[in-house]
Amino acid sequence: MTIRTIITEPNQLLRQVSKPVDQVGKEEQTLMDDMLETMYDAPGIGLAAIQVGVPKRIIVMDISKEEGKKEPRYFVNPVIKNKDPIKATYEEGCLSVPNQFAEIDRPSKCEVEYLDYHGKKQLLKADGLLATCIQHEMDHLEGVLFIDYLSKLKKSKMSKIKFIRVVVLMLIVPMLSFGQNQGTCYNTVSFCPVGKRMGFTKNMQSFSGAFEMGDTSV
Ligand code: NI
């Protein structure tokens, strides 16, 4: 298995509509293996083929919450059959949109039809994080990113927050090194480095799984 390069905004490939797979063969399985390895390495909980530059309708996912327990899922040519009218809100991130996170409303449940790793037709009823993750990844197949749902105002607020984070880090890091030089103990100081925040959060409660999303980063 090979870890592939994840492309990021504003790479125009991310805006491409991915093509259906004719048949799940050795080439597609190798791609899925590589995508999974790439997703685990990132780390994230979902990845679409276009994020490694391949415009095929293929998604991999693993939303297992237990440390060390892997539950990989593979979706080829996924089609959403039903969506629940009730919406759920998750804070989303994306491996292709590093360091940006926003609350997005999506249907809370969905039914998806797809081919599995072996090309066998499957139907899955999904809710919670899984439903959100599937919808986020399926957007990638249409060239859509989660930031597309945000208003211009929200986008500008996000970039300001990002700027503030960077400034805070620029201030904290020299302070920490200064403290160490002076023999001061800063053990109680903890902060979340930019790009290392993981997982979806729901109702502002931390989720243990990492979304592809860099965070859900789905
Ligand atoms: Ni994504």
CA distance to 50, 53, 92, 177, per residue, from 15 (Å): 9, 11, 18, 42
Q: What is the pLDDT of residue 55?
A: 98
- Please, which residues have CB less than 5 A from ligand 1, an ion? 94, 212, 218
Q: Contact 55/45 with Cβ under 8 angstroms? A: no
- Give the Å distance between the CA of 177 and the centre of ligand 1: 35
Provide the pLDDT confidence category of residue 65 given band limits of 50, 70 and 90: confident
Catalytic residue among 28, 91, 92, 137: 137
Provide the pLDDT confidence category of residue 169 given band limits of 50, 70 and 90: low
- Give the Å distance between the CA of 215 and the centre of ligand 1: 10
Residue 97's contacts (CB-CB under 8 Å, 6 or more residues apart) are 8, 9, 145, 146, 147, 214
**Structure token pair of residue 200:** 């979806």
CA triple 165-140-93, angle to 5 deg = 20
The pLDDT tens digits for 132-152 are: 999 999 999 999 999 999 986
Average pLDDT over every residue of 114-134: 98
- Give the Å distance between the CA of 110 and the centre of ligand 1: 18
Residue that is written with structure tokens 């790439």 in the block: 38
CA distance to 137, 156, 180, per residue, from 122 (Å): 17, 41, 56
**Structure token pair of residue 103:** 């609350």
Report whether pLDDT(195) > 50: no
CA gap 3, 44 in Å, rounded: 13
The model's pTM: 0.76
**Structure token pair of residue 188:** 């109680």
Residue 137 a catalytic site member: yes
- Give the Å distance between the CA of 140 and the centre of ligand 1: 7
Task: Indicate the SS3 state at residue 87.
Answer: strand
